[in-house]
Chain A
Amino acid sequence: MAFGTSVDLTSNTGGIVTPNPFWLASAPPANSGAQIMRAFDAGWGGAVWKTLGTPIQNVSSRFGALHFKGTRAIGFNNIELITDRPLEVNFREIAEVKKRYPKHGVIVSLMVETRDEWRDIIKRAIDAGADGLELNFGCPHGMCERGMGSAVGQEPALNETITSWAVEFSTVPVLVKLTPNVDEINPHGLAAKRGGAHGVSLINTIKSLIGVDIDRFVPEPRVASLSTNGGYCGAAVKPIAMHMIGCLARDPDFGLPISGIGGVANWRDAVEFILLGCSSVQVCTEVMLRGYRVVGDMIEGLTEYMRSHGFSTIEEMRGKAVPQFSEWGELDLNYETVAKIDPAKCIGCHACVVACHDGAHQCIHPAPKEAGTRVPVVDESECVGCNLCQIVCPVPDCITMAAVDNGFKPATWNEFVSEGKPLRPKKGAH
């Protein structure tokens, strides 16, 4: 291996500095000091302590998952609440962790109701050694029924008020954890900013109903004879998280540091989140499913990526994809691609044929019998370049979408409407 660029993974999220950008999210893997110390030993750079507040009583059955075609838990759902452990135990353990791991980040997630409660719990968290605070305005189950969690996150005025209390009482950076259970994320990020937050973290979980027991007629997870909505997370929510992160990252009025959460399961996901503007990423579900050990590959993969792309710090790569996250009206309507199938790689499964015929524009056909091959034929004159064939193809790099020079200069919808720029003739629209 060539040791070209030296890479520094140090991450700074609104003043919370950690040895790398990989944090445990506030969740069961960050429930106790013993767990977090094991996580730090495994390589995690930071941990957001499972939300502290008045300790609750949990239901027994509390997790559910979406399995797909043999892959367990591509999506995950929980109805667990905040900490159920005595606050003094949590604070004692925070102090112990900070004593033994002074360079790692311990961010304490908090959720209480009144101004006095916020003042008290923030003081105790900081006294215990918290490097930062995360205000849990996101939890979409249980706590919101009591006026906390997402009940706060969905009301910009309430968000701003409580954030301003926390900032007033805190001597360490304050992150506001946002709920995705809103129409547009930006007003909520801006409310946190007006409240004085040093950064935001998103997304919390998405309101969900993970399944139905089709023999008992009860949704899952089943608690005796009933169920309730949970919070959805895991690999399947990553696109929703990235959209909301991208929306805030590109908002010129926003500009706060972002700790990204939602479906981060490996280094590649982390790279995408950082390119969309995150300073750190938080992981829960992947750790719940596979353990703290997954961070080794995350660190190595991110390091290799940065080295191969010439980035020496997280800050150098942060947000590189944000300017390219645009609006539909700005897309070039004259940009045209067609599918190309590599006959040397094609295994003849015809997945592309059936997908194109039933789900797209009927332009990929089985080769004529006399051709003696199962490599399909693309009718490029009909191919709209939709990518579906490439998506269903089981062979890596077998189908590529090749750009076509159609002689038209770039023209967006906005330019067509405002300036009448010429558009190429439509394909497949007959």
Chain B
Amino acid sequence: MLVGPMVDPRTLPEDRSEAGFGDFKPALGPAQALAEANRCLYCADAPCVQKCPTGIDIPEFIRKISTGNLKGSARTILDANIFGMSCARVCPVEVLCVGGCVYNEMDAPPIAIGRLQRYATDAALAGDWRYFEAGPDSGRSVGLVGGGPASLAAAHELRRRGHACTIYDAGRWLGGLNTTGVAPYKLRADDALAEVAYVLGIGGIAVESGVQVGRDVTWDALLARHDALFIGVGLGADRTLDVPGKELAGIDGAVAFIEKFKLGRVDLAGVQRAVVVGGGNTAVDAVRELVGLGVPEVTMLYRGDEAAMSGYEHEWKAAKVEGVRALWHTQPTAYLDRGGRVAGLRCVKLGADKRPLPGEVFEVPAELVLLAIGQARLGELVAGLAGVQLEGGRLVVDADGATGHPRVFAGGDCANGGKEVVNAVAEGKRAALAIDRALTTGASK
């Protein structure tokens, strides 16, 4: 079911650069899935479930694969997490469910939970198996600002409870970072859009894309239009490095660059060497993606060391296997200019105290520099919403996603500062349940 061009994979350019990527973790075939499912010990109070932010009943969905109840398996997953298909691909399962598998305790290979979840949810999406219906019309309406997983998960949950939903998204395509930011060897934009279409398939979720609150519509107008609001706007633009040469061509924010090659084509002709500045997961994604895009020499440049980097160990290990090298304790002090294009970075070595070591200055040649040193927070966006508080640019929410404004809730990266898709889904769903409680216990506009 296609709701509109904002979720139609056919509206994506066919020659976009991400199309050349294969799956890092390939799909399981039926025989593989059965063998893996049969290994599961079907734990009670299972640690894998406790590690899942959305609390998917993992032993149950795996057992259903093993008995041949594939439709039931996908139902178990999607009932807990309507983004079960993308989470199966993009979750850092090594530190979540798979990290909790009791097989780790006996030094045996843990169950490939992500790949089994993909097996079931791929089938559900391919077969358009539908499990959830909109609840009877409650007469209430919720506006959701931002069209990423948090808002979409919230909207789906709200529809199950009969509340009308309208999503306001500033971009052209829905799905947030699932569509624009996930490494293509995990999830491609067309699959992300197909999943969004599946989520919207519950019906009754209006979408207004290309709408930016503040510019195109005011918060007051939204509050007047809806009984409650959910804010799931994610993070802002990549932070830049304020050093000489920052205006040169060949310098880009990592998130912006990733979006460019996922949704379109990037030209890397002449790029022999690329440097990614940063040590977080965006940096690690970016270096692996540059390798995949064919850049011969890719370097991650980080001011700390391997132990201090916030990128996942398993991802960095994979990057190293793929040929990425790192420069630790290194800080750029200037871009090198060759006729208006970046030619590299002048750097200084940092001591253990993170202070520059005198005399330890060197140059790192690069024809492309990506900055993965964090993203701006969208605090200014909510200016004018009475009671909504910010802390370090994040929206302050309680465990239910409630802000200081009685009718405004929030979740996802704009509230948690930038976590996983599965966290956004969990927070969106929790907020939806809180909104439902607020709307059905008499709170009104």
Residues of A within 8 A of B (CB): 69-70, 346-351, 353-354, 366, 374, 394-395
Contact = CB atoms under 8 A, between A and B. Distances in A.
Interface in B117-163: none
Contacts of A346: 105
Given A347-B105, A351-B42, A395-B106, A70 B47 contact: no
B257 interface: no
Interface string B1-41: 00000000000000000000000000000000011001101
Contacts of A366: 45
Q: Which range holds the interface residue count of chain B?
A: 10 to 19
Given A347-B102, A348-B47, A374-B47, A394 B38 contact: no
B66 A348 contact: no
Interface string B209-229: 000000000000000000000
Contact of A70 (B35, B45, B46, B103): B35
Nearest to B105: A347
B103 A347 contact: yes
A69 B66 contact: yes
B150 to A, nearest CB: 30
B38 A353 contact: no
Contacts of B46: 349-350
Nearest to A352: B44
Nearest to A68: B38
Contacts of A395: 106
- How would you classify the secondary structure of chain B's contact residues: helix, strand, loop or mixed? helix
B43 A70 contact: no
Contacts of B39: 70
Given A69-B66, A70-B34, A348-B102, A353 B41 contact: no
A374 B101 CA distance: 12
A353 B102 contact: no
Contact of B45 (A69, A347, A350, A394): A350
Interface of B: 34-35, 38-39, 41-47, 66, 102-103, 105-106
A354 B102 contact: no
Contact of B41 (A70, A351, A374): A351
B45 A353 contact: yes
Contacts of A353: 44-45
Given A347-B103, A348-B105, A70 B44 contact: no
B44 A354 contact: yes
Contact of A347 (B38, B44, B66, B106): B106
B44 A351 contact: yes
A394 B41 contact: yes
A366 B42 CA distance: 16
B66 A349 contact: no
Nearest to B106: A347
A253 B226 CA distance: 91
A395 B45 CA distance: 18
A213 B40 CA distance: 27
A395 B107 CA distance: 12
B71 to A, nearest CB: 16
Contacts of B38: 69-70
A403 B125 CA distance: 55
A374 B44 CA distance: 11
Contacts of A350: 43-46
B200 to A, nearest CB: 35
B73 to A, nearest CB: 16
28 contacts: A69-B38, A69-B66, A70-B35, A70-B38, A70-B39, A346-B105, A347-B103, A347-B106, A348-B47, A348-B105, A349-B41, A349-B43, A349-B44, A349-B102, A350-B43, A350-B44, A350-B45, A350-B46, A351-B41, A351-B42, A351-B44, A353-B44, A353-B45, A354-B44, A366-B45, A374-B47, A374-B102, A394-B41
B66 A70 contact: yes
A179 to B, nearest CB: 34
A351 B43 contact: yes
A345 to B, nearest CB: 8
A70 B105 CA distance: 23
